[in-house]
């Protein structure tokens, strides 16, 4: 139906906000109409998250005015924002790991009602919007995709007039994403406004009525997404031409860098996914992609590959020919393996530690940042600066906390930190989650270049476009079973989608436990 031709529901006039060393928002004017789905676009660090945090009352602007239904308002807290009718789904989750789904949702609501009724409402919304959740399940047992569903349902339970969505589909499958987009269209048809932040520009074109583009904290363009292409909008965001990644052909099979053989293991908790007879070989010079819907064993597989969980037998995982199934993470890094986990905050990086200290966390053995028990901070600082320069990480200073970076910039830093150590094996899970098109292309090219230098790269991702763009072979993980990998040019998105849904995956159960390279 499109936005209603009426006065703006939300209007920002001259909004500015500064932090030490950076001006996040610079005199921003911005409006959202009733019934409008409005995209807010920009590369990582452009000021999008700061702006929506001001709208939601998490931050206070240094200057400027906010009007709600044409009336000036001061939104001093999220509670005040919710009272106006503003809801928000954050990119980084605000969840308590030790509590259940329902308990987390209850904490985020001003009037949750009784527990039984809340459970029923959660279940009803989960079914209605194809966002399956168990209200009584503990959050620490959930995948990132499932945690994202909690945030979405919690926001929808507030019955908002304006819903802010910060990268809501970044960890959803194409089917889940399409279902969510349908939900947002229905909400807009009801007269609700949607402020939509996403780096998936195809989604923006399909969903949004209007787009505002930020660069360096300033508004640089307003456009109709239907009249643009993903490339044209990406180039408006970055201010230069976009260079897509270029996958190179494998001239000759390299040595076996990673061999998984007959890996069967129970999950560490009762809500996890058991792995069943996983078999895979990754050779030097190639990128192998593993696709799958969140919650089908990706977290468990990553934990067994990184050494956070020990395999039942040493021979089930071999790194560079060495049985490694019983080795811990440090010993596996000694074998020239590197790992990028899915959650950058708290898992890949410690938010309260500086970028230099975070470099030491994974490089203290392989990069020589520790000598005789002492940290060589000058050497680590030089390394951290090279990572920031090489991967164009926007930061207030390498001595600042990792948590001071935007999500996309921290992701670039984490990826760069591992690649700069020149591992012979890199296992990366969701390597471009929440980063803009330019940064995603740069990360993907860095993975391709690393493989080109002889490393084996295993990418576990829900982004099928990404896997098709960079992988030489692709396998699909479903219900803890891995399909035999096939050359990427022999796959279609439809075939991968069927395997992700469990159709045709039964053949993986009968494989011999090791897929031929």
CA–CA dist 4, 37 (Å, integer): 11
Type and span of the H or E element at 451: helix 437-452
Determine whether 218 is exposed, middle or buried from the number of CB atoms within 10 Å of its CB (0-12, 13-18, 19+): middle
Q: Is the pLDDT of residue 510 over 50?
A: no
pTM of the model: 0.73
Q: Is the pLDDT of residue 378 over 50?
A: yes
Query: Is residue 319 within 8 Å of 257, Cβ to Cβ?
Result: yes
Q: Locate tokens 């984490």: which residue?
A: 414
Using 50, 70 and 90 to split pLDDT, how confident is the model at 244?
confident
Q: What is the predicted pLDDT for the residue at 28?
A: 97
Percentage of the chain modeled with pLDDT above 90: 60
**Hey, what CATH topology would domain 10-238 get?**
Rossmann fold (3.40.50)
Helix axes 407-419, 437-452, angle to 10 degrees: 10
Query: Is residue 364 within 8 Å of 375, Cβ to Cβ?
Result: yes
The pLDDT mean for the chain works out to: 89
Q: Is the pLDDT of residue 143 over 80?
A: no
Return the C-alpha torsion angle 391, 394, 397, 400, nearest 10.
-100
Q: Is the pLDDT of residue 508 over 70?
A: no
Q: What is the predicted pLDDT for the residue at 173?
A: 62
Quick check: helix, strand or coil at residue 29? strand
Specify which residues 94 forms β-bridges with. Answer: none
**Which residues, other chains included, contact 395 with Cβ-Cβ below 8 Å and sequence gap of 6+?**
355, 388, 404, 405, 409, 413
Token code pair at residue 341: 């986990």
Specify which residues 280 forms β-bridges with. Answer: 260
CATH class of 251-336+424-517: alpha beta
Residue among 9, 54, 8 at smallest CA distance from 28: 54
Query: Is residue 420 within 8 Å of 383, Cβ to Cβ?
Result: yes
Q: What is the predicted pLDDT for the residue at 375?
A: 84
Q: What is the phi/psi pair of residue 258, to 5°?
A: -140, 125
Q: What is the predicted pLDDT for the residue at 322?
A: 97
Most confident of 182-186, 249-253, 276-280, 405-409: 276-280
CA–CA dist 156, 341 (Å, integer): 29
Return the C-alpha torsion angle 44, 50, 52, 53, nearest 10.
130
Q: What is the predicted pLDDT for the residue at 450?
A: 96
DSSP 354: B
Q: Is the pLDDT of residue 250 over 80?
A: no
Exposure letters 423-450 (e unless 16+ CB within 10 A, then b): bbbbbbbbbbbbbbbbbbbbbbbbbbeb
Residue among 489, 479, 466, 476 at smallest CA distance from 515: 476
**Same-fold call for 10-238 versus 251-336+424-517:** yes
Q: Is the pLDDT of residue 5 over 70?
A: no
Most confident of 120-129, 298-307, 508-517: 298-307
Q: 296 versus 129: which is more confidently predicted?
A: 296
Q: What is the predicted pLDDT for the residue at 483?
A: 95
Q: What is the predicted pLDDT for the residue at 144?
A: 65
Mean pLDDT of 309-330: 96
Mean pLDDT of 157-161: 89
Cβ atoms within 10 Å of 111's Cβ, excluding its own: 5
For 170-217, what is each residue's pLDDT tens digit?
666 666 678 788 889 988 998 999 999 988 899 999 999 999 999 999
Residue among 119, 149, 120, 155 at smallest CA distance from 132: 149
Using 50, 70 and 90 to split pLDDT, how confident is the model at 500?
confident
CA–CA dist 475, 35 (Å, integer): 41
Mean pLDDT of 351-374: 88
Q: What is the predicted pLDDT for the residue at 507?
A: 41
Using 50, 70 and 90 to split pLDDT, how confident is the model at 264?
very high
Q: Is the pLDDT of residue 38 over 60?
A: yes
CA–CA dist 326, 264 (Å, integer): 14
Q: 172 versus 38: which is more confidently predicted?
A: 38
Helix axes 437-452, 230-238, angle to 10 degrees: 90
Q: What is the predicted pLDDT for the residue at 214?
A: 96
Q: 494 versus 11: which is more confidently predicted?
A: 11
The CA–CA distances, whole Å, from 262 to 189, 282, 315, 390, 482 equal 51, 15, 9, 39, 11
For 421-473, what is each residue's pLDDT tens digit?
999 999 999 998 877 788 888 899 999 999 999 999 999 998 888 899 999 99
Quick check: helix, strand or coil at residue 14? strand
Q: Is the pLDDT of residue 252 over 90?
A: no
Mean pLDDT of 153-173: 84
The ranges assigned to domains in the chain are 10-238, 251-336+424-517, 344-422
Count the alpha carbons within 13 Å of 180 in the hemisphere toward its beta carbon: 26
The CA–CA distances, whole Å, from 392 to 76, 92, 385 equal 34, 22, 10
Q: What is the predicted pLDDT for the residue at 251?
A: 66
Q: 22 versus 322: which is more confidently predicted?
A: 322
Rg (CA), the chain: 23
Exposure letters 287-303 (e unless 16+ CB within 10 A, then b): bbbbbbbbbbbbbbbbb
Q: What is the predicted pLDDT for the residue at 509?
A: 41
Q: Is the pLDDT of residue 513 over 60?
A: no
């Amino acid at each position: 139906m499109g936005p209603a031709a009426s006065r703006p529901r939300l209007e920002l006039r001259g909004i500015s906000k500064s932090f030490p060393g950076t001006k996040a928002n610079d005199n921003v004017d911005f409006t959202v109409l009733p019934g409008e789905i409005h995209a807010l676009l920009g590369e990582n660090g452009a000021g999008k998250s700061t702006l929506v945090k001001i709208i939601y009352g998490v931050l206070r602007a240094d200057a400027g005015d906010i009007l709600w239904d044409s009336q000036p308002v001061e939104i001093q807290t999220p509670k005040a924002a919710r009272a106006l009718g503003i809801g928000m789904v954050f990119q980084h989750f605000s969840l308590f790991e030790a509590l259940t789904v329902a308990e987390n949702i209850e904490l985020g609501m001003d009037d949750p009602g009784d527990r039984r009724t809340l459970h029923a409402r959660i279940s009803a919304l989960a079914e209605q919007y194809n966002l399956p959740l168990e209200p009584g399940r503990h959050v620490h047992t959930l995948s990132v995709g499932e945690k994202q569903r909690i945030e979405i349902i919690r926001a929808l339970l507030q019955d908002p007039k304006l819903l802010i969505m910060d990268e809501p589909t970044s960890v959803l499958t194409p089917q889940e994403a399409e279902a969510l987009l349908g939900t947002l269209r229905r909400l807009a048809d009801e007269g609700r406004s949607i402020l939509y932040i996403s780096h998936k520009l195809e989604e923006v074109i399909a969903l949004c009525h209007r787009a505002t583009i930020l660069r360096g904290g300033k508004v640089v363009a307003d456009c109709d997404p239907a009249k643009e292409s993903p490339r044209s909008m990406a180039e408006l965001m970055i201010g230069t031409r976009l260079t897509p990644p270029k996958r190179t052909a494998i001239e000759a099979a390299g040595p076996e860098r990673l061999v998984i053989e007959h890996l069967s293991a129970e999950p560490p908790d009762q809500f996890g996914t058991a792995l069943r007879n996983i078999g895979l070989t990754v050779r030097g010079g190639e990128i192998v992609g593993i696709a799958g819907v969140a919650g089908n064993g990706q977290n468990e597989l990553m934990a067994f590959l990184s050494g956070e969980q020990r395999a039942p037998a040493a021979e089930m995982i071999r790194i560079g020919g060495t049985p490694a199934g019983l080795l811990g993470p440090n010993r596996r890094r000694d074998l020239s393996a590197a790992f990028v986990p899915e959650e950058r905050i708290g898992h890949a990086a410690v938010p309260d530690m500086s970028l230099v200290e975070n470099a030491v966390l994974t490089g203290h053995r392989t990069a020589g940042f520790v000598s005789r028990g002492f940290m060589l901070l000058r050497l680590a600082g030089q390394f951290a600066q090279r990572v920031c320069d090489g991967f164009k990480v926007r930061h207030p200073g390498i001595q600042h906390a990792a948590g001071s970076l935007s999500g996309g910039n921290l992701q670039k830093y984490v990826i760069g930190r591992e690649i700069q150590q020149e591992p012979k094996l890199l296992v990366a899970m969701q390597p471009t989650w929440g980063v803009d098109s330019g940064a995603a292309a740069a990360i993907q090219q860095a993975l391709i270049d690393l493989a080109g230098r002889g490393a084996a790269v295993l990418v576990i991702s829900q982004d099928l476009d990404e896997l098709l763009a960079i992988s030489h072979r692709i396998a699909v993980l479903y219900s803890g079973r891995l399909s035999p990998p096939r050359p990427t040019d022999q796959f279609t998105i439809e075939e991968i989608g069927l395997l992700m849904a469990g159709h045709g995956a039964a053949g993986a159960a009968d494989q011999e436990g090791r897929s031929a390279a």
